[in-house]
Structure 1
Amino acid sequence: MENARQLRIVFMGTPEFAVPSLRALVAGGYHVVAVVTTPDKPAGRGQKLHESDVKVAARELGLPVLQPVKLRDPEFVEALRALRPDLGIVIAFRMLPEIVWAMPRLGTFNLHASLLPQYRGAAPINWAIINGETETGVTTFLLNHEIDKGAILDQVRVPIGPEDTVGTMYERLMNLGTSLVTQTVDRIAAGDITPVEQQSVDERTLHPAPKIFKEDCRIDWTRPGKRIVDFIRGLSPYPAAWTEMYREGDATPSTVKIFSVSFEPAQHGEPCGTIESDGRTLIRVACADGWITLGELQLAGKKRLAVHDLLLGWRDVNLCRFYR
C-alpha cells in the first residue's frame, strides 16, 4: 500500500474534457509533477497562437507544462524521465508510444467516455447517442500498444435520457470522470484494483466510435424517424447534423444545421424531405415512417433559432424541401 497523495503523477490531456480531472487532482492534494499537452496552434482570423484548455488550467494551477511536437523526441523523453513519474494519467490526448506510457513504475491509465470495450475510438459519446443507447459511462484502463484495448481498471455507468444530447452527456461524463480518476488513483495506490483484460471480447459484438467528419453529419430523411432523432441528438450542439435545402426557383441548395427535433409516427404519401409548415410555430419534415418536427435550426448565414422565432421572417418555407 502506498500513499496516493505522494505518487508523482504526470497528467496528459488537451481539451476541456480533461480540465476538471486535473483541477480535482490538484485540489485533492495529489502530487502532479507536470502536465503534458499539445503545442500552441494558430487559430482564428488573426492566426494567433491558441493554448489548449489543459495548458491554460495548468498555468493557473502553477504546474510545469511540457508541449512536445513529437512524443518520441529524445529531449522530451529525457525531461519526462527526469520527473521520476510513478503514475501517468491520460485524458483526451494523443496515442502514446510505449517509451512514454511504460515509463511510470505503476503504469499509465486513460479515462475513456464509454463503457469499454464498447465504443472504442475518438467519438464515443456521439456514437452511443446516435446508436440509440440508453446507457453509457466512463472507464479507466491501462494503456498498451493498441488504442482503447488495455486492461480495464474501473467503470461508472450512467443512463442516457431520451432528451439527452452529446452536449448534456459530455458535461455529465466529464464530471463523472473526475471522481473516477481520483478513485482510480486511490485504488492503484492501495493495491486493491485488479485490471481486467479485454482480449476475450468478440470484436463482432462491439460498436466502434470513429472520428466524425462533416459528411458523416448529413441527415438521411429516408431513414426511420427514431433513427433520425437519435442521429441529431448525437451531433447536437457540435458538430451538428445538417441537410441540404432546396428552395423553389433556386439553382443551388443551401445548408441547414438542425439541433433539436421530435418524431411523430404516421403514414403519409409525401416524398422524404418534404417540408410542411403552418407559417407560425410548426415546421415538420417527412421521413420514412412519419414526421420529424423541428425544434431549433440554423439557416446558412443566420443565427441558431427556435422554429417560432425563425418563422417570423421565413415566409417561403413551404416552397422549400430537404434533400435525401
Structure 2
Amino acid sequence: MRIIFAGTPEVSVPTLRALVTAGHDVCAVLTRPDAPLGRKRILTPSPVATAALELGIPLVRAARVDAAISAELALFTADLGVVVAYGGLLPQSALNATDHGWINLHFSDLPKWRGAAPVQWSIISGDQEIGTTVFSLVSELDAGDIFSTSRSPIGPDETAGELLARLSISGAAQVCDVVESLSLGTAHAVPQSGHVTLARKMSLDDAHVLCEAPADVVYAQMRGVTPEPGAFVELAGERLKIHRAALSSEAPTLTPGHIEFQAKRVWLGTQTQSLELLQVQPAGKSRMTATDWFRGLHTQESVVIS
C-alpha cells in the first residue's frame, strides 16, 4: 500500500522500518519539528525524522496539523495513514487526506487507558497485563473501531521505558499484519466495548515520590515515571532523581521518607517495607550508584526527604 506514516519518538521507529521492510510504499512521514535537546539546547530531529531521512522518505514537520498541512498530506495521494505516537491530534481534514483513512497503534487494551500515557498509568495503577491495539482513527480521542488487539504480561520490575521499547517491536508486527489485511480486503474492525479509562499526559507532580504509600505502590509509581518525567524526592530543598530502585525481601523497616545506609545498601522508608535505592542523580550532577551518593553525604545518620 501507499502509506503516510506519522510518528515522533523512538517507539515509533520500529513500525516505520517494518512497513518499509514489508515492501509498502511509505511516501511521506509526518513528525514533530526539531526540538532543543541537552544542556546546550541544540535543535535535534525527532527519532522518526532521523529514520525517515536515512530511508530517503520525504518529511512533513508540523507541531500542529491544520488545513494547510492536511492539504499537503493529500498531495501524496496515499492509500492509508499509519500513526504511532505522533504527539498531536489529526483533524478530520487530515483523516480525509488518504483513500482509506488512518490506523493507529496504541499501547493499551482499548478502551482502557485512552490518551497520552497509557503505559505509564498502567504500571502506576498496578496492572499485571497490558495490551496493544490497532484501531481506526476517528476525531474522538482513541475511540475508533478495533482491527487487532494483543496482550502481554507486565514484568514485575519493568519501567515504562523498557515496556514501551518491548511493545514497540511487537506492535510493529501487529500493524504490518493489519495493513496486509487491509490491502487484501480481509480486514474486519469491531466497535470498542467496556469501561473507558483515561491516561492523561504525565506531569512533574506525578513523578514526586509519595513515600507514605505502601512499598509496592511507591515502586509502581517509580517504574511508571521512568525515564520520563523521572521519579524524584526532595532533600534539603533539592531534587534527588531516582533512576533505579528495587523491592527486596531483606528490606528493613524505616519511617516513611527516611533514607538510611545499612549493610552497604541504601534504603528508602515507605508505609510498609523500605525500598532499596540503586541508582540516583543529585541536582546538577551525573547519575551514580546510591551507595556512592550516600557516602558522599559524609554522614552516618539517616536523611529525611520532604
State the TM-score, normalized to the length of structure 2.
Answer: 0.91
User: Which amino acid in structure 2 is aligned with residue 302 of structure 1?
Assistant: K
Does residue 283 (structure 1) correspond to residue 284 (structure 2)? The answer is no
User: In the TM superposition, what whole-angstrom CA distance separates every residue of 1:211-261 from its partner, at most 9, and x where no partner exists?
Assistant: 111111101111011100111111223321111113xxxxxx221111222
Match of 1:9 in 2: 3
Does residue 57 (structure 1) correspond to residue 80 (structure 2)? The answer is no
Structure showing greater radius of gyration is 1
User: Which amino acid in structure 2 is aligned with residue 293 of structure 1?
Assistant: E
Q: How does 1:24-35 map to 2 (within 5 A)?
A: 24-35=18-29
User: In the TM superposition, what whole-angstrom CA distance separates every residue of 1:182-223 from its partner, at most 9, and x where no partner exists?
Assistant: 11101111222221112x4333xx3x2111111111011110
Match of 1:176 in 2: 170
Evaluate the alpha carbon distance shift between residue 317 and residue 133 of structure 1 in structure 2; reply closer, same or farther with a 3 A threshold. Answer: farther
Question: Among residues 83, 86, 107, which one is paired with 1:90 in the alignment?
Answer: 83
- Shift of residue 309, structure 1, vs aligned partner: 3.2
Match of 1:38 in 2: 32
Evaluate the alpha carbon distance shift between residue 25 and residue 267 of structure 1 in structure 2; reply closer, same or farther with a 3 A threshold. Answer: closer
Structure 2 distance, partners of 1:70, 1:289, is 46
Q: Any conservation in 2 of the 1:281–1:311 contact (CA below 8 Å)? A: no
Query: Is the partner of 1:318 in helix, strand or coil?
Result: coil
Structure 1 residue runs without a partner (length 5+): 1-6, 247-252
Structure 1 distance, partners of 2:151, 2:277, is 31
Match of 1:250 in 2: none
- Shift of residue 140, structure 1, vs aligned partner: 0.7
State the TM-score, normalized to the length of structure 1.
Answer: 0.87
Q: Any conservation in 2 of the 1:281–1:307 contact (CA below 8 Å)? A: no
User: Which amino acid in structure 1 is aligned with residue 194 of structure 2?
Assistant: V
Structure 1 distance, partners of 2:300, 2:127, is 34
- Shift of residue 113, structure 1, vs aligned partner: 1.1
Q: Any conservation in 1 of the 2:65–2:89 contact (CA below 8 Å)? A: no
Evaluate the alpha carbon distance shift between residue 69 and residue 226 of structure 1 in structure 2; reply closer, same or farther with a 3 A threshold. Answer: closer
User: Which amino acid in structure 1 is aligned with residue 221 of structure 2?
Assistant: F
Match of 1:241 in 2: 231
User: Which amino acid in structure 1 is aligned with residue 285 of structure 2?
Assistant: K
Match of 1:101 in 2: 95
- Shift of residue 264, structure 1, vs aligned partner: 5.4
- Shift of residue 118, structure 1, vs aligned partner: 1.1
Structure 1 distance, partners of 2:159, 2:65, is 34
Q: Please provide the CA RMSD for this pair.
A: 2.1
Evaluate the alpha carbon distance shift between residue 192 and residue 173 of structure 1 in structure 2; reply closer, same or farther with a 3 A threshold. Answer: same
Q: How does 1:126-141 map to 2 (within 5 A)?
A: 126-141=120-135
- Identity level (%): 35
Evaluate the alpha carbon distance shift between residue 245 and residue 49 of structure 1 in structure 2; reply closer, same or farther with a 3 A threshold. Answer: closer
Question: Among residues 214, 236, 245, which one is paired with 1:261 in the alignment?
Answer: 245
- Shift of residue 45, structure 1, vs aligned partner: 5.1
- Shift of residue 72, structure 1, vs aligned partner: 2.2
Evaluate the alpha carbon distance shift between residue 48 and residue 322 of structure 1 in structure 2; reply closer, same or farther with a 3 A threshold. Answer: closer
